[in-house]
Each structure stands twice: as C-alpha cells, then as structure tokens.
Structure 1
Amino acid sequence: MKINWGTGIVIAFIVFISFIMYFIITMMTNNKYDHDLVVEDYYKQELQFQKDIDKETNAKTLTENITYKKTEEGLVIIFPENLLINNISGKVFLYRPSNKQFDFEMPISLSNHNLLIPDKRLLDGRWNINVDWQYNGKNYLYKKEITY
C-alpha cells in the first residue's frame, strides 16, 4: 500500500494532536503535577495589599528593624533592642511556595528580644517570612525571603 503526501500530512496531524491530548490529560489528572495557587485566598489577600504597604512603610521609619539569623536550634527573629518586649504583639507566618502543607503561623511571645522558630519545623529550601506585629498600637510588617 502506497501512502501519498496528503495522507502522510493527515496522519502526522493526528499523531501530533494525540500526543498533545495525552500530555494535557496526564498533566490534569496526575497528582505529581499539582499546580495550586501559591495562597488559598488570593483575592482576599489582594485587598489587604494597601494595608501591608502601610505597615511596611511604618517598619522603614524605625531606627532599627527586625533581623534574623540561623542558629543550630533554628531560625532566630530578633526584634529591635530599643522596644519594650511587653508591648510587642502579633504573629509570624512562614510559608513555603513549593508546598503549602508546610506553611505555619505562630504568635509572637517574647521573653527577650529574640523569637526562636525551631529547626524541626523548617525544611531545607525557600521560605517566605511575614512578621505582622504591633507596638504601642502601631502596625508593622517585616517580609523576607530566605533559603534555609
């Protein structure tokens, strides 16, 4: 049986479309290729964006901002020494862009100017840290992307 060039082109199109459909179906049904949004409530967080900008602006007016360092015990978030620790409140949110199952939030509870996030809670890789805190009724926000 001899195949002419018109039949060859039709067969090539059918093979190509079949490959593309197989690829699309595999990507949509296989859990290995999970493609969720980075955050669950994307639009709700978008409405908070201006408030976050204001909080970050407040943080930039401080003489000394929050810093962090890695230790053997974990990640230490260091609050400014010139602030009274009893007046600091808020929460620390750590999220991992690659897997939302490892995201966690913890309240700020200070006995000195350091807040320790235990090493066992942090896997190696990229983390985004958001420290949303208040001092004497004024709101501040510290954001940092780190590789742990």
Structure 2
Amino acid sequence: MKINWGTGIVIAIIGFITFIMYYVVTMTTSKSFDHDLVTDKYYQKELSYQQEINALKNAADLKENISIRKTEKGLFINFPEDFDINKIRGKVFLYRPSNKQLDFELPISLSNNYLLVPENRLLGGRWNIEVSWKYQDKNFLFKEEIIY
C-alpha cells in the first residue's frame, strides 16, 4: 500500500491533535499538577503590604529579635527577653509551600519567653514561618524559611 504526501500530512495533523488533546486532558485531571496560589486572598493581602513592611522594619530595629531553633520536642520560637511576656499578642503562621493542607496557625500565649510548636505538627521539609505580634500598640513581623 502506497501513501501519497496528502495522506501523510493528514495523518501527521491527526497525530499532533491527538497528542495535544491527551496532554491537555492529563494536565487538567491529574492531581500531581494541581497548583494553588500562595494565599487564597492574594489581592486583599497585597493591599495591606505597607503595614507588613512597617512591621518588618519595627522588628529589624529591635536590639534582640525573635530567634528560632529546632529540638527533638519541636520548634522553639524565642521572643526578646526584655519584653513583658504578658503584653505580647499575636499569631504564628506556618506555611508549607508544597502542600496547602499542612498550613496551620497558632495564637501566641506565653508563660515563658518562648513558644513551642510541637514536633508532631511539623513534617520534614521546607516551612515558611511568619510571626506577627503586637507589643505596646506597635506591630512586629518576623519571617523565616526553615528546613525541618
């Protein structure tokens, strides 16, 4: 059987269209290619970005900022020693870039100058930590990326 050039072009076009359709269906239905925005309320968060910049500057101006260290019990978030721990209010947000379901938030309630994030809440891998806190009507923000 002999195939002329017109038939060859039609077969090539049909093959290309079949490949593209397979690729599109695979990309839209596969869970491994499911990507989300960093945050659900992306545009609302952008509007409050200047307040975030001011809080980061306030934290950078401290003589002692928050420090984080890993232990077998979990993650210790140490607050400055010269602050009254009863007046510190805020939250700790742990963001997992690879899996949105692992993100969680903890309120800051201190009995010592540190907050412990339990080890069982943290899976191995990269975490973005955001500590947003307020002391004497002044906002502070600490951000860090860690590998746990």
Interval of TM-score (by shorter of Structure 1 and Structure 2): over 0.9
Q: Indicate the larger mover: 18-27 or 135-144.
A: 18-27
Q: Residues 32-51 of structure 1 correspond to what in structure 2 (within 5 A)?
A: 32-51=32-51
TM-score scaled to structure 1, two decimals? 0.94
Could you tell which deviates more after superposition, 131-140 or 11-20?
A: 11-20
Task: Name the CA distance, whole Å, in 1 between partners of 2:13 and 2:125.
Answer: 43
> 1:8 aligns to what SS in structure 2?
helix
Gaps of 5+ in 2: none
Deviation at 1:44, TM superposition (A): 1.3
Shift of 1:40: 1.2
Distance in 2 of aligned mates of 1:3 and 1:68: 71
The letter for the 2-side match of 1:35 is: H
TM-score (norm 2): 0.94
* Structural mapping, 1:1-148, within 5 Å: 1-148=1-148
- SS in structure 2 at match of 1:64: coil
Question: What is the alpha-carbon distance in structure 1 between the residues aligned to residue 22 and residue 14 of structure 2?
Answer: 12
Cα shift at 1:47: 1.3
CA deviation after TM superposition for structure 1 residue 7, in Å: 2.5
What RMSD in Å do the two structures reach over aligned CA positions? 1.2
